[in-house]
Structure 1
Amino acid sequence: MKKRIFNYLIPALLGVLVTTSCGEDKSSGEGQAQAQQAQKLPVISIPQQTLTGYSSYPASIEGIVNSGVRAKIQGYISNVLVDEGAKVRKGQALFKLETQSLSQDANAARANVNAAQVEVDKLKPLVDKGIISNVQLETAKAQLEQAKSNYESIAANISYATVKSPVDGYVGAIPYREGALVGPTDTTPLTTVADIEQVYAFFSMNESEYLNFIQKTEGATLQEKIENFPEVTLVLANGKEYEQKGKIQTVTAQVDRTTGTVSFRAIFDNPNQLITNGNSGTLKIPIEYRDVPVVPLNSTFEQQGKIIAYKVSDDNKAQTAEIITRATIGNLYVVESGVQAGDKIIAKGANKVRPGTALEPQEVPFDSIAKPVEKLFQ
């Protein structure tokens, strides 16, 4: 009886083992198939494009003529004849200083002139008749010239009491008003008159930027290079571009040892006087990149400070590419190295794969990825 039961159990156990083994083999095969399944991801081909980027520098604005107006004599302001922002002509009266004491001095000086003239007139006939020597007459004449000189000096000071504009332009701030005592030694001028029909924009580059800029500009001499500098753009303090384009006029061509920078001056027409002395802005110099490979920013990700993209290898595997850039223009990287025109890279989701990941590339148009994302809110 026991032997019969044993004979039944052995085939049953063998059947269970075979069934279990087949199940494990099937499960393992399915897992491997899933592991080898390629990921469907959009890819793009890297093109070559010609783009214009900009280097930006803080700039300060001044009128091409910016003249401080100062009193030549000391005195109290009796009248302010113009208002801030007024357009004035060269020689136009701006301030009037009190001249009462000067007028009194002038009257006394004129009296001295008259007295000296009377003395000369009195001595002339006496000398002619030989009654007195010519020395006395010459002495009287010298005293007359001295009296005239004194009077003319006081008269000049009276004329200086009317402070006039040294140039054509626009009146700036007026810190002094009626009753203020002013003089030639004051550190603050009475006002500033600026010619802002054209304005200067002053900016600086560091030594490295200067050398790169100069070396990339055509021309054998510095003057030739300045003439070949591209037109520049001024962005005003409100973030808007100024409508007039500017031209770089001068370069110091000398590195300031204190700041390590080289100074530049650009000039802009200012027909509507929109900008004036003291304005600030950002000066933009265009840089053209011809036939360069470009990569959309959103096709890359950063890893430990490096810009990473995934190329698609010939066998459709994800291959890490570290991208070295020359510039960022809009939402594109201008590529120095790492990828080249014609390479295929993962367009989106590059940060979700790993090196060697099997891919099923879904090629999409470059512009569909490179197109800037519109802002819905500001």
Structure 2
Amino acid sequence: MKKISLTIVSLVLLVACGKKNEEQAAPPVMPYKVVQVAPSSTTLLAEYPTTLEGVTDIDIRAKVDGYIEEIYVQEGQEVRAGQVLFKLETQTADQDAAAAKAKVTAAQVEVNRLKPLVDRNIISDVQLETAKANLAGAKSTYQGIIAKINYASIKSPVNGIVGTLPLRIGSYVSSQTAEPLTRISDISTIYAYFSVNEKQQLDIMMNGEGKSFQDKISKLPNVNLLLSNGSPYDQKGKIETFSGQANSSTGSFNVRARFPNPNRLLRSGGSGTIQIPTDLQDVILIPQNATLELQDKRIVLVTDKENKVKAIPVEVRPVPGGRYFVVDKGLNVGDKILVEGVGIVAEGTLIKPELVDNSTIMKEQESK
């Protein structure tokens, strides 16, 4: 009997010790901050690389053959319509013009001589008509040479800015010269050209106001321009046109936006980034640092009814500023997500959630 009693006592002690060890080994439930998902509003900025061009970009070419005798402008100079840019050598043309003018004079003398003879019926009018034809031909030749001399003074057809000057005084040019003398760009207004894919084009049009396609374009919000150095341009732009059909090779649509350029800061050939704003209402916003990127998936940690952590994949879009995501799929209003211990707390861990107000989290994000 004593042996049985000792055995029972030993078993009781072992069970008691086991429970005590289990209690000692159980990890403590740690507190972590969570926020409850609520609807919010924000503005997204879709970005597209863009190239800049003036309202008009005109290649300046010679209409006649000749050597460049004078260059009257500098690269980057602002010029007016009709201003002389280049002058070609005209020595040979001047000599041809003098000879042609002499022929005009001689032909006119012949006409003047024959006219009274015809009037008195001394000769037939055939000779006079022939003389008049010779006079007309001489005048035409002379006027052609004068036009050639005038074309030797190459003028700007528009107001604008002078581009590069690849040729120098003494260079021979003609109407067939491949490289233009320069390019004049009217940059009082700048066109920004960029491309959007079919899905993006549909999103823009389906979310836009208006009935007709053109009406929707006219009511699109103003767009922003980021310059190549990352600085925002201080003028807003307006989308004016979409191409009538998608590019068969790329599936994209060409888009043109217009920007005023009063200070001539923007130049043809420049580049930048177009930003198209989209206002969103009643969407879910979460801090970016409340998410994990795992195997090309974005993960959010939520708490269930038992306060255990569960990993949820989500689909998100970044909000400008780099602090928040708009959640398109994966979360519902009322869900509680971890904003503390993300990347440390494992899935299935029991926690003690400390509910934090959304406005507090936003202030913390903005202060960083």
Q: TM-score range by the shorter chain?
A: over 0.9
One-letter code aligned to 1:179: G
The one-letter code matched in structure 2 to 1:358 is L
Answer whether contact 1:319 1:356 (CA < 8 A) is retained. yes
Structure 1 residue 161 displacement after superposition? 0.7
The 5 A counterparts of 1:79-118 are 79-118=70-109
Amino acid at match of 2:344: K
Q: Which residue of 2 aligns with 1:300?
A: 291
Matches within 5 A, 1:266-285: 266-285=257-276
Contact 1:36–1:358 (CA<8 Å) still a contact in 2?
no
The structure 2 residue matched to 1:77, chosen from 68, 77, 81, is: 68
Report deviation, 1:62.
0.8
Moved more, 129-138 or 298-307: 298-307
2:352 maps to which residue?
Answer: 360
Distance 2:162 2:343 in 1: 60
The residue aligned with 2:240 is: 249
Partner of 1:322: 313
Between 1:98-107 and 1:48-57, the stretch displaced more is 48-57
Give the TM-score normalised by the residue count of structure 2.
Answer: 0.93
Give the 3-state SS of the residue equivalent to 1:351 in structure 2. Answer: coil
Q: Deviations over 1:46-81 (max 9, x none)?
A: 232111111111111111121111111011010001
2-structure distance, mates of 1:328, 1:86: 42
Provide the C-alpha distance between the structure 2 equivalents of 1:293 and 1:128, rounded to a whole number of angstroms.
Answer: 102
State the SS of the aligned residue for 1:282.
Answer: strand
Structure 2 match to 1:331: 323
Q: How does 1:51-66 map to 2 (within 5 A)?
A: 51-66=42-57
Rounded to whole Å, the distance in 2 between the matches of 1:61 and 1:95 is: 27
**Aligned counterpart, 1:258:** 249
Structure 2 contact 69–89 (Cα < 8 Å) conserved: yes
Offset from partner CA, 1:179-208 (integer Å, 9 cap, x none): 011111122211111111111101111112
Distance 1:353 1:317 in 2: 10
Mapped pair 1:351 → 2:343:
yes
Query: Aligned partners of 1:182, 1:252: CA distance in 2, in Å?
Result: 37
| 1:1-378 equivalence runs, <5 A | 18=9, 22-23=13-14, 25-32=16-23, 34-35=25-26, 37-329=28-320, 330-370=322-362, 371-372=364-365
Do the aligned partners of 2:43 and 2:319 also contact (CA within 8 Å) in 1? no
> In structure 1, what residue type is equivalent to 2:105?
N
Q: Which amino acid aligns with 1:364?
A: V
| Deviation of the 1:353 alpha carbon | 3.1
In 2, Cα distance between equivalents of 1:265 and 1:312: 48
Q: Which residue of 2 aligns with 1:3?
A: none
Partner AA of 2:163 in structure 1: G
Give CA-to-partner distance per residue, 1:236-268, whole Å, 9 cap, x none.
110111011100111113111122211111111
Residue 45 of structure 2 contacts residue 319 of structure 2 at CA under 8 Å; is this kept in 1?
Answer: no
Question: Which letter maps to 1:342?
Answer: G
Decide which moves more: 342-351 or 62-71. Answer: 342-351
Secondary structure at the aligned position of 2:191 is classed as strand
Contact 1:52 1:286 in 2 (8 A): yes
Where does structure 2 lack aligned partners over 5 or more consecutive residues? none
**Aligned equivalents of 2:247, 2:210: Cα separation in 1:** 24
Whether the aligned pair in 2 keeps the contact of 1:316 and 1:358 (CA below 8 Å) is yes
User: Identity of paired residues, percent?
Assistant: 42
CA distance in 2, matches of 1:234, 1:56: 9
Deviation for aligned residue 1:19? 5.1
Deviations 1:199-232 (A, max 9, x none): 1101111112111111111111111011111100
Once residues 68 and 18 of structure 1 are traced to their aligned partners in structure 2, the CA distance between those partners, rounded to angstroms, is: 106
CA distance in 2, matches of 1:357, 1:28: 21
What CA RMSD, in Å, does the superposition of the two structures yield over aligned residues?
Answer: 2.2
Assess if the C-alpha contact under 8 Å between 2:164 and 2:183 holds in 1. Answer: yes
Distance 1:350 1:79 in 2: 72
Unaligned runs of 5+ in 1: 1-6
Contact 1:320–1:355, Cα closer than 8 Å, also in 2: yes
Checking the alignment, whether the CA contact within 8 Å between 1:293 and 1:341 is kept in structure 2 is yes
Query: Is 314-323 or 277-286 further displaced after alignment?
Result: 314-323
One-letter amino acid matched to 1:297: Q
Aligned-partner Cα distance in 1 for 2:141–2:229:
57
**Matches of 2:189 and 2:117, distance apart in 1:** 68
Conservation of the 8 A alpha-carbon contact between 1:306 and 1:322: yes
CA shift at 1:128, angstroms? 2.1
Deviates more, 1:299-308 or 1:113-122: 299-308
Aligned partners of 1:182, 1:374: CA distance in 2, in Å? 63
Task: Tell me the SS of whatever aligns to 2:107.
Answer: helix
What is the CA–CA distance in structure 1 between the aligned matches of 2:116 and 2:292, rounded to whole Å?
A: 109
